[in-house]
Amino acid sequence: MKRRQFITKAGGAGLVASGVVGSASAQEGESDPRTGSGTQDDPYVVEMHTDGSEYLFDPVGLYVEEGDWVRWVNASGSHSTTAYSPSNPNAEVSLIPEGAEPWNSGTFQEQGATFDYQFQAAGTYDYYCIPHKTLGMVGRVVCGEPGGPAENNEIPDDVGSGILPDSETIVEEKALAYPYFPETSGGPLPSLALGAATLFGLGNVYLLSQTDRFSGRYDQDATDDTEIE
């Protein structure tokens, strides 16, 4: 899914409270939003971007089957794709299934650089970009079905939860473009955010989400990250 298309879709965020968008985005017969087919030769693709002051994985949520391949492409800026595993830089917790092989591409400077990984263990995988983790550059892959420590790491019930989709939604939608906003209100803050979207337009939601990302759960174990472009 192209980012622009998603922005169009997210523009209707004000309708979420009534459930209209929830059904529209999961229409039957809609084509698979994933790029690629998951094979080694034609892997699913996640782009890594710097877009103004935003640093992002797109799609931010991706569903794969066991044995599927994913390719991260450094589309703009300098990024890494790095699994939450204590064996990786600045990750003090494991947020990948038990027995899964942690990955770390290292930080790419070169545009177009790629990193491929084959998902072999079922469960939920949270990952991040080394230089931009503290700015909210995180992503999630669900392989087969949700499970593992990432599922116990509760996504905060606030606007920041728009950054990292919940696993059930990933299973349902197969790919969720950045930025993701929850379709069901899990508390007052998402409703407020959606209200803001209705009243003031999508730009305000970006600002809200930007603000929240600086206080998100991923900040706590990454205080010594250096930031590069």
Binding site listing for Cu cation: 129, 132, 137
Question: Helix, strand, coil % (nearest 5) of the chain?
Answer: 30, 20, 50
- Tell me how far apart the alpha carbons of residues 207 and 99 are, in angstroms, rounded to a whole number: 38
Applying CB under 5 A, the site for Cu ion has a residue count of 5
* Choices 32-40, 54-62, 81-89, 114-122 (CB under 5 A): range interacting with Cu ion: 54-62
Write down the least CB distance from residue 84 to Cu ion, Å. Answer: 15
- Tell me how far apart the alpha carbons of residues 172 and 157 are, in angstroms, rounded to a whole number: 20
Element (H, E) at 51: strand 44-51
* Choices 10-18, 57-65, 79-87, 192-200 (CB under 5 A): range interacting with Cu ion: 79-87
Note whether 55 binds Cu ion by CB under 5 A: yes
- Tell me how far apart the alpha carbons of residues 37 and 138 are, in angstroms, rounded to a whole number: 23
Contact present, 139 and 61 (Cβ < 8 Å):
yes
* Choices 23-31, 75-83, 117-125, 192-200 (CB under 5 A): range interacting with Cu ion: 75-83
Contact present, 36 and 72 (Cβ < 8 Å):
no
- Tell me how far apart the alpha carbons of residues 42 and 216 are, in angstroms, rounded to a whole number: 34
Note whether 132 binds Cu ion by CB under 5 A: yes
Work out which of 16, 83, 137, 202 binds Cu ion, going by CB under 5 A.
137
- The residue among 13 and 141 lying less far from Cu ion, judged by its C-beta, is 141
Structure tokens at 67: 């044995």
Comparing every residue's Cβ against Cu ion, the nearest one is 129
- The residue among 132 and 213 lying less far from Cu ion, judged by its C-beta, is 132
The residue type of 121 is: A
Write down the least CB distance from residue 164 to Cu ion, Å. Answer: 15
Note whether 79 binds Cu ion by CB under 5 A: yes
User: Residues interacting with Cu ion, by CB under 5 A?
Assistant: 55, 79, 129, 132, 137
